Amino acid sequence: MNGLYINRLAAAIWLLLVAILLFSAWRQGPVVDTSVMALLPADEQQPNIKRATDHQADAYANSLLLVIRGQTAAEAAEGARHAAERLAALAGLVNLTWHAQGAEALVEDLYPYRFTVLSETVRERLQQEGGSAQYQLALQRLFNPVSGFSQQPLEDPFSLFVDLAMAQQSKLPVGADQGLLRLIASEMPAYLVRLELLDDPFSISVQARVNAVLNPLLDELQQRGLSVYRSGLLLHASAGADQARAEISTIGLGSILGILLLILWAFRSVVPILHVMIPVATGALVAMAVTLLLFGRIHMITIAFGAGLVGVAVDYAMHFLCEVRVVPRQQVIRRLLPGLVLGLMSSVLAYAGLALAPFPGLRQMAIFSAVGLVAAWLTVLLWLPLLSTRRSTGPLPAAATLDRWRMQYPYITQSPRLALVLIVLGVCSAAVVFQGSARDQVALLQTSSADLLAEDRQVQSLLGNGSSTAFLLVSGDSFEQVLQTEEGLQAALGSLIADNQLQGYRALSQVLPSLQRQEQNSQHVRALYDAKWHSMADLLNLSQRQRSAALESMYESTRGRLTPQAWQAMTLGQTWTANIVSSEPGDVATVIQLQGRLSSELKQQLMALAEPLPNVVFVDSLGSMTELLERYRAEISNWLLLAYACVLVLLVLRYRFASWRILLPPLLASLISFAAFLLLHDGYNLFNLIALMLVLGIGLDMGIFLNETRESAHTWLAVTLSSASSLLAFGLLALSQTPVLYHFGVIVLPGLLLTWLLAPLMREFSTGETDHG
């Protein structure tokens, strides 16, 4: 009676703890993250590099761009106006930009600085032959009524601002047409509609509201015969969320339905289904609550991966339900406890490998899985004995059927040929594994479809945007220092463009010269006036007063300087905010965006260009991530070997020489599965190695329980049901379109199947096996 009281008290305490955890998580509110970038390693680079990378990413994350293209300008323009009208329904959630401001108006603010802010072409002309080329060009424009020359030639007689305006406008990918934003680089008439998101693009509610307006609009525009291209992080996040939700349904519901059918076949009753689902549901809910409380949000892929927890958590319940049929209820827990403890320790140890990876998303998976297993384990231990007081007993026909099949298996200790075959297979598999090459591309984390990626690249190309993952970061104590450094890089970047290695670049110093450069420009302009002004004035037939006034205006203007603060306040300056990472006094940083595809050779040249300059860094985010993946793959490899060593020590302490019977099935299954994967794929990655840990953790349970119950027929039934459940749960991951989940499932599926097939071979030889249950 005292023992029953203690059991009930412990069960009540566990129920109270579960209720507190669920209530705390519910009160905090569930936040689901769909960002694939959350799976990437934490940035280990310098803080200013991380800041620049985040700045580039934020500029992309907060925008949703639509390019509407048609056969004629009228059709495309009408489509853009219709899109703006429909998208106005998202007011309060987005800021909509579709009206155009003329390029002339954008650069008009630069007119007072026409003698100090010069285009690169004008600078070159003024440095050669006293500016004769610029003088001749000014004369042509002066006498050409459609040249666009200033209507007040005395203020800019050498046409310097005309060149500046054209140079600035050429850097603008968007022009004004019919009051709309027309893309200059598009061969067919195309107009831009920009939505600036005011909320998190990874928010499922934000995605739903935007898609509810955007998707019908796309259908309408396509029905009009217009082509629509989209770009924006929200699109990728939404597609990833849809894919994850679909896979959760496939993996989770598929696992549950499969398990229900297995239980009905084994127990011929629906009651055990409730006993199985209680620990599974408790484990999943507690895992979700703890994850939310620890991380503040839960990743959608964590939930999808956690759906596989069904196949592991059900293991403990299966063993209880099978053993309670042939062992008195009071003795079931005592009989199963050693196996339950060792099984839990081995599984949690395997999942702990996920926590070692420097991926926030993978750490979530580790916490989710480990907590879920412990919660399911405690539920079986504390609740099931109280819930199974009046259940039927007696051997299960399914156990006898499976045991007869197992009896047909040979004993490896009595079959030298079979042992030799397995040894050869294991050695050959190990040889393939050791010869295998790694594949550490970040592209493995990419969940977006090829069509969506191509659409995104098309839009960014039309806008002339450079890569957000590879750029030159220039830092310094002041804008002046940074701008001078950028100007020093322009010649080298120009050479790369001339050699057709670099498509182009976008640097702030192209439009905002340093004060030093502005001083040089003013000197060139004064030299031009000294050499050519009298000739120009004679041609214009100017009076002495007009000549003096023009000279005074020139000298006054060449004393003016365009400061970074004044530039940022201009309308034109607002179009370059993506290039300014920091503008605080003593901490200024800008990025030079690089356009086009960057080959490995070009990246090496850019690194060599930046290396001797203390304030310049070539940042290749994807390359850095690949290096991190490579390093952490090596660390996980070491952890996998350490995990096997730790497990071996635990097994030896318990089972002595018989430990090989438990360890060999998952080890051999892992080698064969991994070797087969390498033969069919062009390399392995970090996630394949983590999957091998899961095979180890789940596979060990099988041998441990079989040894603890002396090869009981009902234990073999429980092991088979658990293995089948795990295969359903993790095996379905092999069908996933999410690369991370696929690389788990494609290893776990054959690994667990082979472990189950190999386990009976390792049993101890007996002249007449009996059911010890």
Phi-psi sector, 130: left (phi>0), alpha (psi -120 to 50), beta: left
Dist. CA 378–CA 445, nearest whole Å:
35
Residue 370 pLDDT more than 80?
Answer: yes
Each residue's pLDDT tens digit, 258-317:
778 888 888 888 788 888 888 888 988 898 899 889 888 787 667 766 655 655 667 778
pLDDT of residue 361: 67
* CA distances (Å), origin 193, targets 81, 569, 747: 9, 24, 45
Residue 479 pLDDT more than 90?
Answer: yes
The fold of 2-34+238-444+625-762 is: Multidrug efflux transporter AcrB transmembrane fold (1.20.1640)
Q: Are strands 190-197 and 63-69 parallel, antiparallel or unpaired?
A: antiparallel
* CA distances (Å), origin 358, targets 64, 278, 354, 414, 438: 31, 33, 9, 46, 18
Residue 155 pLDDT more than 50?
Answer: yes
φ, ψ for residue 91, nearest 5 deg: -55, 135
Each residue's pLDDT tens digit, 332-365:
777 778 777 877 776 776 666 667 666 676 778 7
Which of residues 448 and 472 earns the better pLDDT score? 472
Dist. CA 689–CA 703, nearest whole Å:
22
Residue 43 pLDDT more than 60?
Answer: no
Residue 120 pLDDT more than 80?
Answer: yes
- From start to end of 77-208, where are the E strands? 94-97, 174-177, 180-183, 190-197
φ, ψ for residue 506, nearest 5 deg: -135, 110
Dist. CA 56–CA 52, nearest whole Å:
6
Which of residues 328 and 149 earns the better pLDDT score? 328
CB contact at 8 A, 540 and 153: yes
Each residue's pLDDT tens digit, 224-258:
999 999 988 888 888 877 877 777 677 767 777 87
Crossing angle (nearest 10°) for helices 329-356 and 309-323: 160
CB contact at 8 A, 740 and 445: yes
pLDDT of residue 79: 93
Residue 767 pLDDT more than 60?
Answer: no
CB contact at 8 A, 702 and 723: yes
pLDDT of residue 342: 73
Residue 38 pLDDT more than 60?
Answer: no
Residue 82 pLDDT more than 80?
Answer: yes
Residue 768 pLDDT more than 50?
Answer: no
pLDDT of residue 61: 75
Each residue's pLDDT tens digit, 635-694:
778 777 877 888 788 888 888 888 888 889 999 999 999 999 999 988 888 788 878 877
CB contact at 8 A, 754 and 669: yes
pLDDT of residue 701: 75
pLDDT of residue 493: 92
Identify the band that residue 572 occupies on the pLDDT scale cut at 50, 70 and 90.
Answer: confident
Which H/E stretch holds residue 104? Answer: helix 103-107
Write down the pTM of the prediction.
Answer: 0.71
Residue 35 pLDDT more than 70?
Answer: no
pLDDT of residue 87: 92
What single DSSP character describes residue 765?
P
Average pLDDT, the chain: 82
pLDDT of residue 448: 74
Domain ranges of the chain: 2-34+238-444+625-762, 101-178+519-561
pLDDT of residue 766: 57
Query: CB neighbours of 357 closer than 8 A, spacing ≥ 6?
Result: 41, 363, 632, 636, 686, 690
Dist. CA 725–CA 260, nearest whole Å:
10
